[in-house]
Structure 1
Amino acid sequence: MKILILSTSVGALSSGIGGGVELTIYNLIQEMQRRNHIVKVIAPKGSKISHANIIEIEGNLHIPAQTQTRDIPITMPKNSVLANMWEYARQIQSDYDVLVNFAFDWLPFYLTPFFKTAIAHFISMGSLSDSLDQIMEKIARKYPQNVAVYTQSQANTFPFAQFCQILGSGIDLSLYQFKEKAEKKLAWLGRIAPEKALEDAVKASEITQIPLLIFGKIQDENYWQNILQEYPKAPIEYKGFLSTIDLQKELGNCQALLMTPRWIEAFGNVAIEALACGVPVISYARGGPAEIIIDGKTGFLVTPDSIDGLVGAIHRIPEINRYDCKQCAEEIYSLTAWGNNFENWLKTIVNN
């Protein structure tokens, strides 16, 4: 197939602003190319992926949906990068069998009926906007094969859950080194923003006095500074936004990864990255992580928003066999298995 991917409009690829969807796009490009499909990507200027053919588009970035309220009206910035990306796609659409949309935004769904080439919409987050839900539902009902998500938990946040194709996720396991033994430290990985509730992990670290390594893009500087001021005695260390190779070296040495989302995570690629290194995952029992973690075997699922739950699970880390974590990643979350799901979905759309 000839596949044209349209990236998120909130940031350049490899900037970290797009969160887990950046890793998903990276892996999709790699896997579809391995299967001899022709892949091109349209993305905001400054995007960088080593093995990708990227068309960089100028324009102003969009505000991430998770930072806004549900009832916010439909808006676009002046000289919208998303509008510019889709105008370019309109001009070259006949050169491709299918367009794959990764923007969590109203515009691509609205444009779908006006394109001659089929558009596959991969939704990267749960329900966050009333207006976006409405247009997504309209398109899902009209094109019931063309909308996909990571998990059933994510699908269930939408009024059109029955039309969502569940694709899961996967990673290139060859990039992650298994570590049989860990040092006495914990990890937290993700965008540093309020919906990720990093402060809960910091509080658990303070109570247990086990050092917490923090990885990821600081998306909300004020939020980050407030955490530092509120927990000055917590044994935390910010390690920055690292490449996969550098990240897994650090992550693999940790006793466990803490996941503390306030919202319903669509999936949680960081969870399978940890498992691939043999690192157990302790997460609130909500959203995608609840479908990934096998409670008591590859980590622990605790009561959402419970610091005591996190602390209790941290004390139980020795119960987990790190080989079980690695085996889970290999059996369920390989790039090949996920690639099969994604490829079959695209073929269904193209042949429809």
Structure 2
Amino acid sequence: MSRPLRIALIASARFPIGEPFAGGLEAHTWTLARALRSRGHRVDLFAAPGSDPELDVTEIAVHRPSLSAAARSDVSMPDASWMDDHHAYLRLMLDLAGDGGRGFDVVHNNSLHYLPVAMAPAVRVPMVTTLHTPPTPWLESAIQTHGPRTVTFTAVSESTAAAWQPLVTGARVIRNGVDTDRWPVGPGGPHLVWFGRIVPEKGPHLAAEAARRAGRSLRLAGPVGDREYFETRLAPLLDEDIRYVGHLDRSALATLVGTSAAALVTPRWDEPYGLVVAEALSCGTPVCGFDRGALGEILTPDCGLLAPPDDIDALARLVEDTTRLDRRAARARAVGFCALDAMTDGYTALYQELAA
């Protein structure tokens, strides 16, 4: 049996790793930390204040830099939140580069910040960075400072791995996994469901319009990440049939999804993975969505149907056929393709390989 490892898991400095989750990245990091701990590994989670106290959390404390009036008034001064994140990750990486990193076998970066990648050469133990998004200018710049070989990259889907070519070659694909026990099969129900962050790139207003054109009721759930978008684009579409039910914890959300006829997934960007797809399938709820990013990797015709990107009429036409798909096939796809054990196996094998 492989020996237990001590793993430093770097998470978001902006959103707590705990329920109700701010988004899929936070849910993934929480799930991974718990799964690794259940296998006997020691996991030190570096995360935002307010994260789950049951995890061994070291807060990425945001100590705002003391900037002079001249610096604050400079035309290059970014907004305060950018500076907060920069300073927090700078302190963390300097600590890991010094004595703070000596006790770890591997550092796994699940943040979206550029500094863990840029400063990886200073850390004395192997570092893994998971690519959770399409390419961003900050991460591309960080990789190019010293090349990709200093960091071992993984990607959450074949689509995401391909998007990062040729800058990152050979990223190992380890798909996000869901704990199917925590997303149990539900009986279905009359309404459709959309869940996720309420932001433009997730397109909940398109789900509302598609549901109305299909003549179906819809329940939307999730944190409001963009208040202006919510008020101007989504709120005008809400009524007795199209309802926003709030930011639910995992148990309430699983109940909502499990008692829905189908889940609408409407990304307006190339979805890197689509954790909501895996969660819906785990509940036995088939998926009707736009064919973007990794959705086509997860879904098969017996558990989900895909429309061309942004084509609301095509999505609406697929709704009835989607609701008739076998809920058992949806659950089987989640268990066989999106399982937590497969993800945990992939990461632990990589950690052991690097630690050796």
Q: Same fold (TM over 0.5)?
A: yes
Residue correspondence of structure 1 range 292-303 to structure 2 within 5 A: 292-294=298-300, 296-303=301-308
- Does 2:355 align with 1:350? yes
- Does 2:184 align with 1:177? yes
CA distance in 2, matches of 1:182, 1:225: 30
- Structure 1 residues 212-250: Cα deviation after superposition (integer angstroms, max 9, x where no partner): 111111000110011245425572222222222221111
- Counterpart of 1:55 (choices 58, 75, 78) is 58
Q: Which moved more, 1:307-316 or 1:79-88?
A: 79-88
Kindly indicate whether the alpha-carbon contact (under 8 Å) linking 1:177 and 1:277 is maintained by their aligned counterparts in 2. yes
Residue correspondence of structure 1 range 2-21 to structure 2 within 5 A: 2-14=6-18, 18-21=22-25
Equivalent position of 2:338 in the other structure: 333
Closer/same/farther in 2, CA of residues 86 and 132 from structure 1, 3 Å limit = same
- Does 2:211 align with 1:238? no
In structure 1, what residue type is equivalent to 2:56? N
- Does 2:107 align with 1:104? no
Equivalent position of 2:204 in the other structure: 198
Provide structure 2 residue ranges, at least 5 long, that are not aligned to the other structure.
65-75
Closer/same/farther in 2, CA of residues 26 and 233 from structure 1, 3 Å limit = closer
In structure 1, what residue type is equivalent to 2:314? G
Closer/same/farther in 2, CA of residues 232 and 332 from structure 1, 3 Å limit = closer
- Counterpart of 2:270 (choices 261, 264, 273) is 264
CA distance in 2, matches of 1:123, 1:249: 30
Kindly indicate whether the alpha-carbon contact (under 8 Å) linking 1:206 and 1:234 is maintained by their aligned counterparts in 2. no
Task: Give 1:307 shift.
Answer: 0.2
Equivalent position of 1:26 in the other structure: 30
- Structure 1 residues 149-207: Cα deviation after superposition (integer angstroms, max 9, x where no partner): 1001011222335321100111111112212x422101111111111111100101222
Q: Which moved more, 1:222-231 or 1:284-293?
A: 222-231
Q: Which moved more, 1:309-318 or 1:95-104?
A: 309-318
- Structure 1 residues 287-318: Cα deviation after superposition (integer angstroms, max 9, x where no partner): 12111011x21110111111012101102124
CA distance in 2, matches of 1:31, 1:237: 34
Equivalent position of 1:168 in the other structure: 175
Closer/same/farther in 2, CA of residues 147 and 341 from structure 1, 3 Å limit = same
CA distance in 2, matches of 1:112, 1:143: 7
- Give % identity: 23
- Counterpart of 1:207 (choices 208, 213, 227) is 213
Return the TM-score normalized by structure 1.
0.89
- Counterpart of 1:248 (choices 226, 249, 254) is 254
CA distance in 1, matches of 2:40, 2:243: 42
Kindly indicate whether the alpha-carbon contact (under 8 Å) linking 2:238 and 2:244 is maintained by their aligned counterparts in 1. no
SS in 1 for 2:119: helix
Task: Give 1:138 shift.
Answer: 5.5
CA distance in 2, matches of 1:33, 1:347: 15
CA distance in 1, matches of 2:238, 2:33: 42
Task: Give 1:30 shift.
Answer: 1.5
Kindly indicate whether the alpha-carbon contact (under 8 Å) linking 2:96 and 2:123 is maintained by their aligned counterparts in 1. no
CA distance in 2, matches of 1:98, 1:260: 36
- Does 2:41 align with 1:37? yes
Kindly indicate whether the alpha-carbon contact (under 8 Å) linking 2:19 and 2:250 is maintained by their aligned counterparts in 1. no
- Structure 1 residues 34-89: Cα deviation after superposition (integer angstroms, max 9, x where no partner): 21111111112222253x1101132169xxxxxxxxxx999950572222332343
- Does 2:315 align with 1:310? yes
- Does 2:328 align with 1:323? yes
Provide structure 1 residue ranges, at least 5 long, that are not aligned to the other structure.
62-71
Equivalent position of 1:64 in the other structure: none
Kindly indicate whether the alpha-carbon contact (under 8 Å) linking 1:202 and 1:234 is maintained by their aligned counterparts in 2. no
- Structure 1 residues 4-43: Cα deviation after superposition (integer angstroms, max 9, x where no partner): 1111233222266752111111111111112111111111
CA distance in 2, matches of 1:27, 1:316: 33
Kindly indicate whether the alpha-carbon contact (under 8 Å) linking 2:120 and 2:150 is maintained by their aligned counterparts in 1. no
CA distance in 2, matches of 1:232, 1:92: 50
SS in 2 for 1:300: strand
CA distance in 1, matches of 2:57, 2:185: 32
Kindly indicate whether the alpha-carbon contact (under 8 Å) linking 1:203 and 1:234 is maintained by their aligned counterparts in 2. no
Equivalent position of 1:67 in the other structure: none
SS in 2 for 1:174: coil
CA distance in 2, matches of 1:152, 1:139: 24
